Amino acid sequence: MTVKVGDIAPDFTLASQTGSSVSLKDFRGQKNVIVYFYPKDDTPGCTAEACAFRDSYEVFKDAGAEVIGISDDSQQSHQKFATKYQLPFTLLSDAGNKVRQLYGVPATLWIMPGRVTYAIDKQGVVKHIFDSMLDFKAHVSEALKTLEAIKN
């Protein structure tokens, strides 16, 4: 299955860096959600992307959105990563890449988990998908542009 713009985002429940369970459905009717899939904690590209989301986190909050990062790293790895870089948003552990597969996030060169961001509105509808392995900061700018469009 590959999620497309206009689809209802598939629900999931995963463990966060704090050990609590987070479900996408918990945000329905409450907040827009930016879900970004990334390959690995504490690697150069993933750190640049996470820090870009961190640096714009207040803008996301002001736009009524929550940011959620997902990789197959463990809860402990996410906790260290979030602490090291002072990440104020939720990181979820997708052991076995089940949610990644549910969304149809492609692998790069068939081996490295892809980097894809989904902008999901309050009703759970996917409004924008951005896929770029190398343009880390564009994931943030694309998400913010989509939130602006949703608001208007």
Active site residue 51: no
**Are the C-beta atoms of residues 101 and 94 closer than 8 Å to each other?**
no
Residues with Cβ within 8 Å of 100's Cβ and at least 6 positions away in sequence, in order, are 37, 70, 72, 94, 113, 114
The amino acid present at 18, given as its one-letter code, is: T
| Cα gap 132→128, rounded to integer Å | 13
Strands 90-93 and 65-71: parallel
Catalytic site residue from 46, 82, 92, 143: 46
| Cα gap 35→131, rounded to integer Å | 12
Catalytically active residues, by annotation? 46
